[in-house]
Structure 1
Amino acid sequence: MTRWATFDCFGTLVDWRHGIATGIELLFPGRGAELLEVYNRIEPQVQAEQPVRRYREVLAESLRRTAAEAGVELVPDDASVLGTGLPYWPVFPDVRPALTALREAGWRLALLTNCDRDLIGETQRRLAVPIDVTVTAEDVGSYKPGHAHFTRFASSFDATRENWVHIAQSHLHDMVPAQALDIRRVWINRHAEDHDPSIADAVLPGLGDLVATVERVHAS
């Protein structure tokens, strides 16, 4: 039986917060960390308004609204800075060893990502570990925490609770829908957030002990 380990990408494998804050910092020096928190609140609203909107445009529109709320002037052409920089956002140092170890343990790997096909393609080259399947927001016409990524993956690859573990950092975008769909799940709580940990089958601060945890969750 094929065993699947699916991942969210940005926030779990790639440092999304660093990428957003650094892009903002290029335009508004000294304001990156502050405006990141505004952006982090606005982006899910933009995604929910028009689920078919491409992620590159979600990034741009979210930045426009962030600048407007913060009262800073955004030159119109500068709204593209986040989409332009995304392919260079850093991969967390624990990612390549963990993904490699999972493959060596017999798991196939997939990404369920709130991203466009072209952008995730650029990102995958930096993961430097083969990914078997990618399901994007562009593919399904919606953004997590909607269920379409999960249902498309399940129907396309015969993935069920018996052969599938989902691993992700976002409690809202990934743990909540995975619980609702009864998918085994590991919450990577990289930022020591105080969300309810009981909705996950396991909680880790990073990917350092991932293989043993995934194996244990799968067997439970």
Structure 2
Amino acid sequence: MPLNYDNYDALSFDCYGTLIDWESGIWLAFQPVLVENPHPQIDQNQVLADFAELENKIQSDHPGMPYPEVLKSIHNRFALRHDLVTNEGMDKLFGTSVGEWPAFPDSIEALVDLKKRYKLAILSNVDNVGFAASNERLVVEFDAIYTAEKIGTYKPDAANFEFLFTQLLAEQGIPRERILHVAQSLYHDIQPAKMLGMDCVWIDRQGLSTGGDWGATSVISEWPKVDAVFSDLASFAQAVVNS
């Protein structure tokens, strides 16, 4: 049954992969070490797949590690894995690259349209400084911003979503059943959100539902049932406007 968009007062968003084009940003941020170490067998698909694997392991092993340190460690481990020469400066540069990652072309206009109808919340796996830089690219003022730095754990940990529920109720008076979660990552967002009973919109920017590649997102074997799927944020916003 199609979603009734009148059933919600707030939209909670994953940011990176949904609003910010993190795969383009990650690939660009890897260029210094790749230029210094020409390696014809390392292409964008390899970089993104390794990133997904390394990020998942580091965040699982060190849930309290600040995201810039997670990125720094990813860069260093990637270089070691592929026998690339790196240094502290290049590792640190990658660690602080989040603010340079571009927004998807449709993000700003879609968010402006959605804000006319809903409170907008961010539930993100980055640090406060990193998201603040991304927020400047997105322009829209969010009603609530909950980062991994504030929460102390990384998605897909249920604690991140429970934090969202508690804070939106306390700060905005919005109960969990009136929140619609909007995200690209099946692993980080859709699967744990559905396990907690949330209604979810999948923004399938990678085209996974039509045979696309997982890119920088960890692979899951069993896909959760989503309530709606759109290929981009603009399509979702248009569906809301037309409802």
- Correspondence 1:172 to 2:187: yes
Distance 2:49 2:155 in 1: 19
Distance 1:137 1:121 in 2: 13
Give the secondary-structure state (helix, strand or coil) at the position aligned to 1:10: coil
Aligned to 2:25: 19
Aligned pair partner of 1:204 in 227, 230, 237 = 230
User: Is the contact made by 1:7 and 1:111 (CA closer than 8 Å) also made in structure 2?
Assistant: yes
Give the secondary-structure state (helix, strand or coil) at the position aligned to 1:203: strand
Give the CA deviation at 1:192: 1.2
Aligned to 1:70: 82
User: Is the contact made by 2:190 and 2:224 (CA closer than 8 Å) also made in structure 1?
Assistant: no
Give the CA deviation at 1:197: 5.8
Aligned residue type for 1:168:
A
Aligned residue type for 1:206:
D
Give the CA deviation at 1:121: 1.1
User: Is the contact made by 2:32 and 2:90 (CA closer than 8 Å) also made in structure 1?
Assistant: no
Aligned to 1:5: 11
Give the secondary-structure state (helix, strand or coil) at the position aligned to 2:192: helix
Aligned to 2:102: 90
Distance 2:143 2:128 in 1: 14
Sequence identity, in percent?
31
Distance 1:84 1:180 in 2: 32
More displaced stretch, 156-165 vs 114-123:
156-165
**What does 1:98-137 correspond to in 2, within 5 Å?**
98-104=110-116, 106-137=117-148
Normalised TM-score (structure 1): 0.90
Normalised TM-score (structure 2): 0.82
Distance 1:112 1:143 in 2: 10
More displaced stretch, 46-55 vs 80-89:
80-89
User: Is the contact made by 2:168 and 2:175 (CA closer than 8 Å) also made in structure 1?
Assistant: no
Give the CA deviation at 1:61: 0.5
CA RMSD between the two structures:
2.1
Aligned residue type for 1:203:
V
Shift in CA distance, 61/198, structure 1 to aligned 2, threshold 3 Å: closer
Give the secondary-structure state (helix, strand or coil) at the position aligned to 1:166: strand
1:59-94 Cα shifts (integer Å, max 9, x gaps): 001111111111211112210122332212110011
Give the secondary-structure state (helix, strand or coil) at the position aligned to 1:208: helix
* Higher RCO structure, 1 or 2 (CA under 8 Å, sep 6+): 2
Distance 1:203 1:161 in 2: 21
Give the secondary-structure state (helix, strand or coil) at the position aligned to 1:115: coil
Give the secondary-structure state (helix, strand or coil) at the position aligned to 1:135: strand
Structure 2, unpaired ranges of 5+: 1-6, 210-219
Aligned pair partner of 2:57 in 45, 50, 57 = 45
